Amino acid sequence: MSLVTNLDLRKTAMKWLIASLITLSVSAIGMVELFGERFVITGLFTMAQVMFLGPTAVFAYRAVQETPQAQKWLGLLKALLIGLGVGLVMMALVWLSQNIDIRSVFINISPKLINILTFNGSGSLTLLLAMVGAGLAGGVLALVPTKLRTALLVGGGTTILTGLLSEILAERLRSLFGAQVSNAIFASKALQLVPAIVLFVLITAFVYFRSTGHIKPANIRLPAGRERLVLTALISGFLLVLPMLLGSYLTEVTNNIGLFFLMGLGLNIVVGLAGLLDLGYVAFFAIGAYTMAALTSTGPLGLADMSFWVALPICVAVAAVAGFILGMPVLRMRGDYLAIVTLGFGEIIRILALSDLMKPYIGGAQGILNIPKPMVGELSLIRPEQMYYVILIGVAVAMFMSVRVRESQIGRRWMAMREDEDVAEAMGINLVSTKLLAFTIGAGFSGLAGAIFASKLGSIFPHSFNLLISINVLSLIIVGGLGSIPGTLVGAIILVGLPELLREFAEFRWLAYGVLLVTMMLSRPEGFIPSETIRRELHSGDEAEQAG
Amino acid sequence: MAMLEVNDIHTFYGNIEALKGVSLHVDEGEIVTLIGGNGAGKTTTLRTISGLLKPRQGSVKLYGEDLANVRAHHLVYKGISMVPEGRGVFAKLTVEENIEMGAYIDKDKARIERNKEAAFGRFPRLKERRKQVAGTLSGGEQQMLAIARALMAQPKLLLLDEPSMGLAPILVDGIFDTIKEINKEGTTVLLVEQNASMALAIAHRGYVLQTGEIVLSDKADKLAKNETVQKAYLGID
């Protein structure tokens, strides 16, 4: 065979094209420029460089991965070609911007961007070399043995993430260990070079030796049957002191994650276990929040002046009843139709909250104000560090219930119904009660989250309860892994926590969010931590091969 | 008294009358088969008996009790188990989980365990594959699984919808042997089948359904010799 056929030119050209397009886009929309000053490692490399070199490395990596092991030099040649190709495209961009006025159309292709792309003006050739380097680096990475590769990726990823989050981390280090420690590791919002290398090497080595079995998890001898107890105690202890480690800002982020996790747990029951696609989940969140507001507010709209703790179970009950009521008309619906009806229900609740009809009771667009914080004795839980514990208790209760319910007869009923309604019925499963139970319990969890939310904010407005929340909760359970509880937590951290921490991405936050969702669904449709059955469903092809 | 008595049922899909007055009965201990071509109404009859469809007219009685107001999921409590058309195993659950799901109504753990062992005894193939996901089983194995699952509820009457569908002839033989065996052990069987020769070979009695009506009914061996049946369903001229 000739070299040309061996190179698989069509596929390689495709990768070159996609990598070029991505690199051009992130440059032309201003993302690269925004991060030009944003060092990941002080004085060495910036977030901008990660962004415009990254795509080339990724696609070169994939090109090599697709090449048969025996022809690895060919693979590297492909990687080289991709790097060279993208480099040439970017060189063309630089040349164009210097000779023709393209800024009148692409406003973000500024001299500053060109300066970043050419590494502070050291010329297009540097750009080309850097691209080729990125391509080769990606390619070589694909040839490294799997264990070492995973370790390198985890190490590199952690280092970059630490660099990205260095502002927050530096602040925490300062307040926990003093400015000296903080300044030794971080400088001007980025990791210092030496700590970065140390961090990278440490994590890479740890992950690598862990996978080869050189480092084993500490083998603590415990009385039989006590392992779980000790583990639970350790985790609980950690969770109890967490707010002190995190400080106010991070605790506030954690609280948001907690609330979304709580909602995710509920929706997980409805969608993940029972297989009922609910797009109006925010309605129950709103009902919980408004019930809390109406019952406890000290303002003119308050009805009962109840305390938070008395009102809380009422809110959960009201939301659960609402779930039951919504469940009834949709009993006979499946799939898409169900999704549309629930979507409508969510909107009805939001519009009702906005309407003049309900204004005398729940304040219309002005919402309900003066919702008191939860009280413990004489202490009002104002600070996020205090509210954290309320959310922690809610999450603990919801998690416990989720696990118990899933492992019980009810869980099996949901699973059977999700798989095949007719057969489930033939097995003796009452579909009506099974569906209603899923809606009711799911709505109760959401109501709990809403009630805490109202008290945490102190005031609520209809616009807080828009469709985006339903979508967000649905996305987080899908990204995390449908039907899986740890997955829901991971999903909440990634989709609620990360956007909060990466606020400086500004308007690009939602772009990153969308890209993450698309990539995730393409490369890992079962989510980060999938439940057993979902994994089976999406990989049944692989299993059939094994079995055969 | 007949165990199951279907009396002049008319079932509609919208305005289309799929069953135009079907009457049949199944006595205790029998294998009764319902044969007929595509679209004759075999599955509709079975779905009406099992409560998934409601007849507009007529009645279905089990031991004299009218099932009109019994909801589909309650039938299994009354002793009727169904193996749906196309097998309907829970594809993402393992073989063992599928079988356990069949004992959904049973609260007695020891009995469930006994029945499970009996099922594995009857179908050693399933025992070998107990941890395998049901969707990856072959068609014949899925049919075995669907039958094993239905038996977990210890039914008095087993409704089978086209167990031979999509199976290789050699597997069909095995499935029909199993049905015969189950019947010998005391379970009454109502078998809906397109494969008339096989069905008539194991059944005691048979009904021939044509465009929503019973056109013939007799002892199975006599039906097998009937000229019309031979021409229409057995491919004998």
CATH code at B191? 3.40.50.300
- Residue of chain A whose Cα is closest to the Cα of B152: A427
| Residue A178 identity (one-letter amino acid) | G
Mean pLDDT of A453-461: 94
Residues B69, B174 within the same domain: yes
Q: Is the pLDDT of residue A175 over 90?
A: no
pLDDT band at A474 (very low <50, low <70, confident <90, very high): very high
pLDDT band at A97 (very low <50, low <70, confident <90, very high): confident
Whether B52 contacts chain A with CB within 8 A: yes
Residues B52, B162 within the same domain: yes
Backbone angles phi, psi at A300, to 5 degrees: -65, -20
Q: Is the pLDDT of residue A380 over 90?
A: no
Whether B71 contacts chain A with CB within 8 A: yes
Mean pLDDT of A362-380: 89
User: In this predicted structure, which of A44-53, A236-245, A526-535, B123-132 has the lowest mean pLDDT?
Assistant: A526-535
Q: Give the pLDDT score at A209.
A: 87
Per-residue model confidence as pLDDT tens digits over B181-215: 999 999 999 999 988 888 999 999 999 999 999 99
Per-residue model confidence as pLDDT tens digits over A21-74: 999 998 888 888 888 878 888 777 788 888 889 999 999 998 888 888 777 788
Which residues does A contribute to its contact with B (CB < 8 Å)? 409, 412-413, 415-416, 419-420, 422-431, 533-534, 536-537, 540, 543-544, 547
Mean pLDDT across chain A: 87
| Chain A residues whose beta carbon lies within 8 Å of the beta carbon of residue B104 | 409, 412-413, 416, 427-429
Pick from B104, B127, B154: which residue ends a domain?
A: B154
Please tell me the distance from the alpha carbon of residue A515 to that of residue A506, in angstroms, as a whole number. Answer: 15
Give residues with Cβ within 8 angstroms of A85, minimum separation 6. Answer: A16, A19, A20
Residues B235, B163 within the same domain: yes
Angle value at C-alpha A479, between A137 and A269, nearest 5 degrees: 160
High-pLDDT (> 90) share of chain B, %: 60
Q: Is the pLDDT of residue A400 over 70?
A: yes
- Residue of chain A whose Cα is closest to the Cα of B98: A416
- Residue of chain B whose Cα is closest to the Cα of A546: B136
Pick from B119, B154, B189: which residue ends a domain?
A: B154
Residues B159, B233 within the same domain: yes
Cα-based distances in Å from B93 to A328, B131, B133, B136: 28, 9, 5, 10
Mean pLDDT of B47-55: 89
pLDDT band at B92 (very low <50, low <70, confident <90, very high): confident
Per-residue model confidence as pLDDT tens digits over A208-246: 888 887 766 665 555 666 777 888 888 889 999 999 888
Backbone angles phi, psi at A374, to 5 degrees: -60, 145
Q: Is the pLDDT of residue A286 over 60?
A: yes
Please tell me the distance from the alpha carbon of residue B147 to that of residue A26, in angstroms, as a whole number. Answer: 58
Q: Is the pLDDT of residue B90 over 60?
A: yes
> Does A219 or A171 have the greater pLDDT score?
A171
Please tell me the distance from the alpha carbon of residue B139 to that of residue A279, in angstroms, as a whole number. Answer: 36
Residues B125, B107 within the same domain: yes
Q: Give the pLDDT score at A303.
A: 85
CB nearest to B52's CB, from A422, A536, A547: A422
Q: Give the pLDDT score at A546.
A: 39
DSSP A298-353: -STT-SS---HHHHHHHHHHHHHHHHHHHHTTTTT--HHHHHHHHHHHHHHHHHHH
Q: Give the pLDDT score at A4.
A: 60
Domain ranges of chain A: 3-212, 244-465
Question: Range of B51's domain?
Answer: 1-79+155-237
Cα-based distances in Å from A256 to A92, A142, A240, A262, A490: 45, 38, 17, 10, 13
User: In this predicted structure, which of A412-426, A531-545, B19-33 has the lowest mean pLDDT?
Assistant: A531-545
Give residues with Cβ within 8 angstroms of A3, minimum separation 6. Answer: none
Please tell me the distance from the alpha carbon of residue A451 to that of residue A312, in angstroms, as a whole number. Answer: 7
Residues B52, B69 within the same domain: yes
pLDDT band at A543 (very low <50, low <70, confident <90, very high): very low
| Chain A residues whose beta carbon lies within 8 Å of the beta carbon of residue B84 | 422-423, 426
High-pLDDT (> 90) share of chain A, %: 39
Whether B87 contacts chain A with CB within 8 A: no
What DSSP state is assigned to residue A494?
A: I
Q: Give the pLDDT score at A222.
A: 58
Please tell me the distance from the alpha carbon of residue A78 to that of residue A429, in angstroms, as a whole number. Answer: 57
Q: Give the pLDDT score at A271.
A: 92
Q: Give the pLDDT score at B27.
A: 95
Residues B175, B234 within the same domain: yes
Quote the minimal CA–CA distance from B77 to chain A in Å: 7
- Verify whether the Cβ–Cβ distance B93 to A533 is below 8 Å: yes
Pick from B154, B170, B196: which residue ends a domain?
A: B154
Instruction: Quote the number of domains for chain B.
Output: 2
Q: Give the pLDDT score at A6.
A: 66
Residues B159, B127 within the same domain: no
Q: Is the pLDDT of residue A544 over 50?
A: no
Angle value at C-alpha A18, between A16 and A20, nearest 5 degrees: 65
| Chain A residues whose beta carbon lies within 8 Å of the beta carbon of residue B78 | none
Which residue from A46, A79, A74, A36 is spatially nearest to A60, judged by alpha carbons?
A: A79
Residues B143, B95 within the same domain: yes
Residues B165, B71 within the same domain: yes
Among B47, B49, B73, B106, the strongest candidate for a mutation testing the A interface, having the largest count of A CBs within 10 A, is B73
- Verify whether the Cβ–Cβ distance B76 to A413 is below 8 Å: no
Q: Is the pLDDT of residue A542 over 60?
A: no
Residues B74, B109 within the same domain: no
- Verify whether the Cβ–Cβ distance B133 to A430 is below 8 Å: no
* Cβ–Cβ < 8 Å for A111, A44: no
Quote the minimal CA–CA distance from B2 to chain A in Å: 23
Whether B236 contacts chain A with CB within 8 A: no
Cα-based distances in Å from A296 to A302, A389, A457: 6, 20, 13
pLDDT band at B237 (very low <50, low <70, confident <90, very high): low
Q: Is the pLDDT of residue A385 over 70?
A: yes
Q: Is the pLDDT of residue A548 over 50?
A: no
What ipTM, to 2 d.p.?
0.82
- Verify whether the Cβ–Cβ distance A416 to B105 is below 8 Å: no
* Cβ–Cβ < 8 Å for A485, A401: no
Per-residue model confidence as pLDDT tens digits over A305-363: 899 999 999 999 999 999 999 889 888 787 788 899 999 999 999 999 999 888 888 88
Tokens of A32: 């690269």
- Verify whether the Cβ–Cβ distance B101 to A412 is below 8 Å: yes
Mean pLDDT across chain B: 90
Residues B99, B61 within the same domain: no
User: In this predicted structure, which of A331-345, A373-387, A525-539 has the lowest mean pLDDT?
Assistant: A525-539
> Does A544 or A383 have the greater pLDDT score?
A383
Whether B135 contacts chain A with CB within 8 A: yes
Whether B138 contacts chain A with CB within 8 A: no
Mean pLDDT of A188-207: 87
Angle between helices A193-212 and A146-164 (to 10 degrees): 150
Q: Give the pLDDT score at A409.
A: 86
The H or E element spanning position B54 is: none
Q: Give the pLDDT score at B158.
A: 95
- Residue of chain B whose Cα is closest to the Cα of A414: B101
> Does B154 or B235 have the greater pLDDT score?
B154
Three-state DSSP string of A145-175: CHHHHHHHHHHHHHHHHHHHCHHHHHHHHHH
Please tell me the distance from the alpha carbon of residue A124 to that of residue A111, in angstroms, as a whole number. Answer: 13
How distant is the alpha carbon of residue A312 from its chain centre?
A: 28
Q: Is the pLDDT of residue A119 over 90?
A: no
